[in-house]
Amino acid sequence: MRRFRFGAAVLAAALFCVPLAAAPEQAGLCAACHGARGVSAMAEVPSLAGQPETFLTLQMILFRERIRRFEPMNAAMQSMQDAEVEALARFHAALPPPAPGTAPEAERAARGRALSAEHRCGVCHRADYAGQAQVPRLSGQREDYLLHAMRDYRAGRRQGTDTSMQAVLYGLSDRDLADLAHYLATVPLGR
């Protein structure tokens, strides 16, 4: 099923993608799922715009090496050379980050904010959640993707270049993750 969807997406990219200014050749392929200018409109697919360049490079390499498993991304990265990966990372890092999502539900956002403070998300992801180096930007990211990613980390299905996220999410409830995602996705840019 996923394979089919990915195939369709590649086709769509080939047919409809408008080449972006100074975009690497493969950026159209990314845009099919991650959205034009790196802002995703697809459920559980992350926005890439404005992510730290190092983070993007590392994740693409982890997909290529099948250390991080998601078949459409493993397939897309399979024959990608390092220089191409780095060009894609540079390109997406330079795009303006997406604006935060809809106005938060106050109670859930407050709970998410408290959880973020308790677990010190802002130390690595920075106080404005813009990320740094190998640590991704959270502000403006899709809420459903943030939840999906945190569930994967908590379940041990995913890890980054170290085990920080698995450890920090250990023991958090489904509701905790949902409220965290809600808060982080809707926190204003440059907070």
Partner 1 sequence: MTPIRLAAAGLVLLSAPAFGQQQVPPWAQGRPDSMAQSTLAPHPPRLTVTPPGDVPMNRLRVPAGFRVAFWAHGMPGARMMALGDQGTVFVGTRVIGRVYAVSEQGGQRSHRILAEGLTQPNGIAFKDGALTVMAINQVLRWDGIEGRLADPGTPADLTAAFNLPPDQHHGWKFTAFGPAGRLYTNIGVPCNICTFDRDRFALIVSFRPDGSDRRIEARGIRNSVGFDWHPTTRELWATNNGRDWAGNDEPHDTLHRIRRSGEDHGFPWCVGMWADPAMERRQCSEFEQPAASLGPHTAPLGMRFYTGTMFPQAYRGAIFVARRGSWNRETKIGYDVVVVKLDAQSNVTAVEPFLTGLLDEQAQQFHGRPVDVLQLRDGSLLVSDEQNGAIYRITYGG
* DSSP code at position 190: T
- Secondary-structure breakdown of the chain: helix, strand, coil percentages, each rounded to the nearest 5: 55, 0, 45
Query: Binder to partner 1 among 32, 58, 115, 185 (CB under 8 A)?
Result: 58
Contact call for residue 86 and partner 1 (CB under 8 A):
yes
Tokens, residue 112: 């998410």
What is the distance between the terminal CA atoms of the chain, rounded to a whole angstrom? 40
Q: How far is the CB of 70 from partner 1 (least distance, A)?
A: 12
Q: How far is the CB of 12 from partner 1 (least distance, A)?
A: 29
Our CB check for partner 1 shows the closer of 91 and 100 to be 91
Closest CA to 59 of 131, 135, 130: 135
Query: Binder to partner 1 among 69, 78, 96, 114 (CB under 8 A)?
Result: 69
Question: Cβ–Cβ contacts within 10 Å for residue 155, how many?
Answer: 10
Q: How far is the CB of 177 from partner 1 (least distance, A)?
A: 14
Lookup result for tokens 């975009």 = 23
Contact call for residue 159 and partner 1 (CB under 8 A):
yes
Our CB check for partner 1 shows the closer of 40 and 63 to be 63
Contact call for residue 174 and partner 1 (CB under 8 A):
no
From residue 154, give the alpha-carbon distance in Å to each of 5, 42, 112, 118, 132: 26, 23, 17, 17, 22
How many residues sit in the footprint of partner 1 (CB under 8 A)?
35
Site residues for partner 1 per CB under 8 A: 54, 57-58, 61-62, 65-67, 69, 82-83, 85-86, 119-120, 123-124, 133-135, 155-159, 161-168, 170-171
